[in-house]
Amino acid sequence: MHFAVNAHLLSPAGGYRQAGISVYIDQLLRCLLPSAPNDRWTVYAPPGAGRVLDPPPNTCLRESRLPTSKPLARIVWEQCLAPLLALHDRFDAFFCPLNVVPLAMRRPSVVTVHDLAFLRFPERFRPARRRYLAVLARLSVRRAAHVLTVSEFTRREVVDLLGVPSEKVTATPNGRDERLGPLPADAVARFRETQSLPERFLLFLGTLEPRKNLPALLRAYAGVADVVGMPLVVAGGKGWMYEPIFELVGELGLRERVRFAGFVPREDLAAWYNAATALVYPSLYEGFGLPPLEALQCGTPVITSNTSSLPEVVGDAALTVDPTSVAALGDALVRIATDAALREELRSRGPAQAARFSWERTAAGTLQALRTVARS
């Protein structure tokens, strides 16, 4: 069979676009393409994708001449060029890794829906982006022959909010990055020295955007900073509507206690997780939530939310709290900072919980869906 993939959200450049969906595409394709060596694959990708992907012999990587890292150019490619390429390349099924399928596509499509935050929290998205996602996602899940989701939580969201028949939706959870894990103590010490990090610090790692709930974390931390006795490091690229985060740090008098580390390259992730005393990830809504899984894999204690998909990801290997309660979040910060036995227990549980997730299983579910729709 011949399958095609829209990989235009794979980001060859650093920055917040190299997180989330770019990681999903990168990790999934690394497993998916070699897992079907007797099939042909065409991967449509942005300029420079060859620096990220090393496709196997059964794969044709076709980099676009359009600057598809820019949303408008990507939309033009998806809705205008992709249906024409389908007529020319005559593939059997088309895989769309993020929420949207070309509406004029005449080949059967499989689409992955990562979350429906634009429906649950519309006020946290810029109006044009919110309207585009809301309209195109609804049309896409109707047009697609099958829908995949990155968690059981998102599968229920797609059925409930978009009215998709449950038999048309399959959960294929994200996997763990095999390159992450515990590091030797001397390597962690060298990393702390190069980054001018203290022996103990709390870490938030994720794109700076409204649903990550950083204002609540900052308010909680401000109330217990003296008891916690360690700084808070906020790491991650700037996404959208992030300005209030920086303003709030000043208003709370936290400029000497909160450090913004910026975007973290993937090759440095393990060092950041290993160096931190704990990861704090109080997101309001996640379709999956890779940072908590990555921290668990490294044996780093995790505080995260008891909402959306996050309990599904961390199981009993993390502290979960109500992300809307500043008091509850503050109590969790104090517990993780002062209770060494709790930290050790969470360290021991983390890797086993992370081991439940693999990109091989994600790839197997994706390939099964593509083959099913191609045959039908």
DSSP 77: I
What pLDDT was estimated at residue 158?
97
What pLDDT was estimated at residue 143?
94
pLDDT at position 94 over 90: yes
pLDDT at position 336 over 70: yes
* Burial classification of residue 156, based on how many CB atoms lie within 10 Å of its CB (0-12 exposed, 13-18 middle, 19 or more buried): middle
How confident is the model over 156-170, as a mean pLDDT? 96
How confident is the model over 116-132, as a mean pLDDT? 85
How confident is the model over 109-127, as a mean pLDDT? 89
Residue 355's contacts (CB-CB under 8 Å, 6 or more residues apart) are: 176
Angle at 53 between CA 172 and CA 87, to 5 degrees: 75
* Burial classification of residue 3, based on how many CB atoms lie within 10 Å of its CB (0-12 exposed, 13-18 middle, 19 or more buried): buried
pLDDT cut 90: percent of the chain above it: 82
* Overall residue count recorded for the chain in this entry: 376
Among 87-101, 110-124, 167-181, name the one with the lowest average pLDDT. 110-124
How confident is the model over 356-361, as a mean pLDDT? 97
pLDDT at position 130 over 90: no
Identify the CA nearest to 99 among candidates 14, 31, 25: 25
Report whether 144 contacts 111 (CB < 8 A): yes
Per the model's pLDDT, the better-predicted residue between 241 and 206 turns out to be 206
Q: Where are the alpha helices (DSSP H) in the chain?
A: 21-35, 71-76, 82-89, 117-120, 127-143, 152-162, 185-195, 214-228, 243-251, 269-275, 290-297, 310-314, 326-338, 340-354, 359-375
How confident is the model over 71-84, as a mean pLDDT? 94
Determine how many CB atoms are found less than 10 A away from the CB of residue 90: 10
pLDDT at position 88 over 50: yes
What pLDDT was estimated at residue 352?
96
- Look at residue 285 and give its three-state secondary structure: coil
What pLDDT was estimated at residue 277?
98
* Burial classification of residue 238, based on how many CB atoms lie within 10 Å of its CB (0-12 exposed, 13-18 middle, 19 or more buried): middle
Average pLDDT, the chain: 93
How confident is the model over 250-278, as a mean pLDDT? 94
- Look at residue 148 and give its three-state secondary structure: strand
pLDDT at position 16 over 70: no
Tokens of 153: 């939580």
pLDDT at position 15 over 80: no
Report whether 11 contacts 22 (CB < 8 A): yes
The structure's pTM equals 0.91
How confident is the model over 240-264, as a mean pLDDT? 90
pLDDT at position 47 over 80: yes
Identify the CA nearest to 265 among candidates 5, 14, 8, 9: 14
What pLDDT was estimated at residue 29?
96
pLDDT cut 70: percent of the chain above it: 98
How confident is the model over 27-34, as a mean pLDDT? 95
Angle at 299 between CA 293 and CA 302, to 5 degrees: 55
Which neighbouring-strand residues pair with 171? 149
What single-letter amino acid sits at 39?
D
**304 alpha carbon, distance to own chain's centre:** 15
Q: How far apart are CA 91 and CA 193, in angstroms?
A: 52
- DSSP class per residue in 20-63: THHHHHHHHHHHHHHH-TTSEEEEEE-TTGGGT----TTEEEEE
- 318: pLDDT confidence band, cut at 50, 70 and 90? very high
What pLDDT was estimated at residue 14?
55
